[in-house]
């Protein structure tokens, strides 16, 4: 099992993306664990942040979309 298998949530970010940092700060404030991934190493990433929750991809800092995916994954009450 790799470290990636331990995370239900992956966030693809870049170092200079303000929305990426805002998303991670928001998840941290909710005590939700995630794996940060370097979007610059993924040639198909056209926008950031990209959040993947159990295979569901959400582009941008879309709080309603992320909350919905978290609820569906049983990670949001």
* Other CB atoms within 10 A of residue 68 CB: 15
Q: Which CATH number fits domain 3-72: 3.30.2350.10, 3.30.1340.30, 3.40.30.10, 3.30.1510.10?
A: 3.40.30.10
The pTM assigned to this predicted structure is 0.87
Query: For position 6, what pLDDT does the model report?
Result: 53
15 pLDDT exceeds 80? yes
pLDDT for position 20 = 98
Q: What is the mean pLDDT of residues 29-33?
A: 93
* pLDDT above 90: percentage of residues in the chain: 78
């Amino acid at each position: 099992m790799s470290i990636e298998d331990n995370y239900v949530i992956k966030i693809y970010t870049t170092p200079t993306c303000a929305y990426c940092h805002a998303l991670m700060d928001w998840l941290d404030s909710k005590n939700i664990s995630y794996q940060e991934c370097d979007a610059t190493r993924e040639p198909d990433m056209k926008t950031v942040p990209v959040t993947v929750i159990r295979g569901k991809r959400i582009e941008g800092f879309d709080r309603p979309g992320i909350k919905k995916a978290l609820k569906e994954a049983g990670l949001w009450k």
